[in-house]
Chain A
Amino acid sequence: GAGVSQSPSNKVTEKGKDVELRCDPISGHTALYWYRQRLGQGLEFLIYFQGNSAPDKSGLPSDRFSAERTGESVSTLTIQRTQQEDSAVYLCASSSGTLPNQPQHFGDGTRLSIL
């Protein structure tokens, strides 16, 4: 597709369940980023991929959070044993390189609600 695609767009689940969020970046974009945006707050960096490797995982809030990327394309963010504080919009972005002047292109996000 032309833009970054995320699925599902909305996810409601019970506390304690595992969830998997998917991101399809723009074709050819080597860099991929995950962010979390809590209600009324700014973007919180989670993890960055260059190709299939993740040189920066510093933003993952706990070991319940993990992410992988395969084929230098699709990425999945997995949250295990979800907690209510995990409720947020999870945004994925991709860019064509790691150079600092390459802007990021964002998906519409997955709105996650933990009951």
Chain B
Amino acid sequence: DTAVSQTPKYLVTQMGNDKSIKCEQNLGHDTMYWYKQDSKKFLKIMFSYNNKELIINETVPNRFSPKSPDKAHLNLHINSLELGDSAVYFCASSLGQNQPQHFGDGTRLSIL
């Protein structure tokens, strides 16, 4: 029973391409997040949605566009991929904005 699931787990692509990562949670949570973890293991928030509404939007290039079709899904689309986008992207969810966050297992993005 996967609580927060991300697809794909691995993504290898060329610079300049456009790609999407999908996230789904079956916990009944109403708040979802995207994080980026770099090679030094720093985990930084990118976006947060509460009931499909964007509530946190960190300083992220506008090549990154999140979309929340419903409370259980939060997708991340990335245009014109750059070498510096190589990282692990984690989706997370919580019940409300103040409760602990539960993470998926990440999508490992490698840009060639």
B is a partner of A = no
Chain A interface residues toward B at CB < 8 A: none
Q: Which residues of B contact A (CB under 8 A)?
A: none
